[in-house]
A and B are shown apart, each in its own frame.
Chain A
């Protein structure tokens, strides 16, 4: 499981963590049944506050992607949720088209935010 956090991103660290875990699950890089690192471990790994990872895990739990145990464990319970993979494919195509058209990632981000 690879997590990359960008300082200047419009998404918060918690949103970035949740989004990347979700993408990993959708791509099959993180398998159903796989245990994720504890919030404390992942926070130490990424050098962020533990509550940041807990917020990310909470949003993943609400989305039905992971199950949080009574202890610290988080287990992936949902595989390739319907639609997520096609959204990822569409997003990749939009990013490629935007790059070809000379639209920067920041501009594209604002464009999409304006539509949402």
Chain B
């Protein structure tokens, strides 16, 4: 009754402090814009060359300012939303740090360019000099946001559980299958196809040979991502198979004889090396999200984890078909 209220108010205080810190980049951008308004002309230096000694191009000052301010404001609001959602969003503070860092880089980039423009006799003669050092302020703000935001509470994780085998009548045939899709993988694949196409178009129109590298790189990345969604998971007399529906590539193929046991669990991407098709010290895994899945334990081999919305029937079917020693 004595210390509890104070302890309960601590996370709120920390989240409020983190939100206040998250507002610093947009505040700095707005204040700088206000202060430099009398001295900034209609054009400002932007698009800096490699050594930042001269600008590659000029932009309309205030159109650029409002574009940067709009994006930074949106990122700031997103950061605050992530900070406040902390208890309900496990990786909230990491996401908040990333959005804060992005907004901070945008704000400081405009400030550095505007500052360089004001100090030069003409926008075309501006030199960034050591001003990019203020981008470090964005990193400091993002680090503070991360440190001040309390870690999100982990959702209750169902422990790994043994699944009873289906009871099969003598001679009964059984097969279980489902199709697993990941909207995130689909979006990434579409974006990569678009980038490969863009490289191909730019390469063809500008006759730039270097774009071929982009076409190949993005093309391979797109195909690799397309192989991951949608996939068909099948459990039958042949064993457990995970196959890419589009590319028809088998991602996982485990014969019944090599299966020791199949259990269900909440699959944590962090424990299996992340999202997608992973090979790590824990074993192999196909992971679309943090959530329910099956873990295939094999004789004398590392386990395999697969996220699947309804893992109980898959595990029960596999355990029914697996020959008992």
Question: A and B: partners?
Answer: yes
A residues with CB within 8 A of B: 1-8, 29, 34-35, 37, 41-42, 44-48
Residue of B nearest to A17 (CB): B175
**For the complex of A and B, 6 pairs with smallest distance between CB atoms:** A45-B175, A45-B236, A5-B173, A7-B171, A2-B176, A4-B174
Say whether B317 faces chain A, with CB atoms less than 8 Å apart.
yes
A48 to B173, Cβ gap below 8 A? yes
Given A4-B174, A6-B172, A37-B232, A47–B237 Cβ distance below 8 Å? yes
Given A2-B313, A37-B232, A46–B175 Cβ distance below 8 Å? yes
B174 to A37, Cβ gap below 8 A? no
| CB contact between A34 and one of B168, B171, B179, B238 (< 8 Å): that residue | B179
Say whether B177 faces chain A, with CB atoms less than 8 Å apart.
yes
Q: Say how far A26's CB is from chain B's closest CB, in angstroms.
A: 17
Tell me the bound Cα distance from A41 to B235 in angstroms. Answer: 12
Say whether B178 faces chain A, with CB atoms less than 8 Å apart.
yes
B178 to A47, Cβ gap below 8 A? no
Residue of B nearest to A2 (CB): B176
A42 to B175, Cβ gap below 8 A? yes
A1-B176, A7-B171, A45-B237 known; 13 other A-B pairs, CB under 8 Å?
A1-B178, A2-B176, A4-B173, A4-B174, A5-B172, A5-B173, A6-B172, A8-B169, A41-B232, A42-B177, A46-B173, A47-B237, A48-B173
Number of interface residues of B (CB under 8 A): 20
Tell me the bound Cα distance from A34 to B234 in angstroms. Answer: 15
Tell me the bound Cα distance from A35 to B179 in angstroms. Answer: 8
Given A2-B313, A37-B232, A37-B234, A47–B173 Cβ distance below 8 Å? yes
A7 to B172, Cβ gap below 8 A? yes
Q: Say how far A75's CB is from chain B's closest CB, in angstroms.
A: 11
Instruction: Offer 6 A-B interface pairs, CB within 8 angstroms, sorted by A.
Output: A4-B166, A8-B169, A37-B232, A41-B232, A42-B175, A44-B238
A41 to B234, Cβ gap below 8 A? yes
Q: Say how far A86's CB is from chain B's closest CB, in angstroms.
A: 24
Tell me the bound Cα distance from A8 to B179 in angstroms. Answer: 30
Tell me the bound Cα distance from A46 to B237 in angstroms. Answer: 8
Q: Say how far B170's CB is from chain A's closest CB, in angstroms.
A: 8
Tell me the bound Cα distance from A29 to B312 in angstroms. Answer: 13
Tell me the bound Cα distance from A45 to B176 in angstroms. Answer: 8
Residue of A nearest to B320 (CB): A4
The residues in B between 281 and 324 inclusive whose CB is less than 8 angstroms from any CB of A are: 310, 313, 317
Tell me the bound Cα distance from A1 to B235 in angstroms. Answer: 10
The residues in B between 238 and 291 inclusive whose CB is less than 8 angstroms from any CB of A are: 238
Tell me the bound Cα distance from A35 to B181 in angstroms. Answer: 11
Tell me the bound Cα distance from A46 to B174 in angstroms. Answer: 6
Given A2-B317, A6-B169, A37–B177 Cβ distance below 8 Å? yes
- Which residues from B are CB-within-8-Å of A47? 173, 236-237
The residues in B between 206 and 258 inclusive whose CB is less than 8 angstroms from any CB of A are: 232, 234, 236-238
A-contact 0/1 string along B35-63, CB 8 Å cutoff: 00000000000000000000000000000
- Which residues from B are CB-within-8-Å of A34? 179
Tell me the bound Cα distance from A37 to B177 in angstroms. Answer: 8
Residue of A nearest to B171 (CB): A7
Tell me the bound Cα distance from A34 to B177 in angstroms. Answer: 12
- Which residues from A are CB-within-8-Å of B317? 2
- Which residues from A are CB-within-8-Å of B169? 6, 8
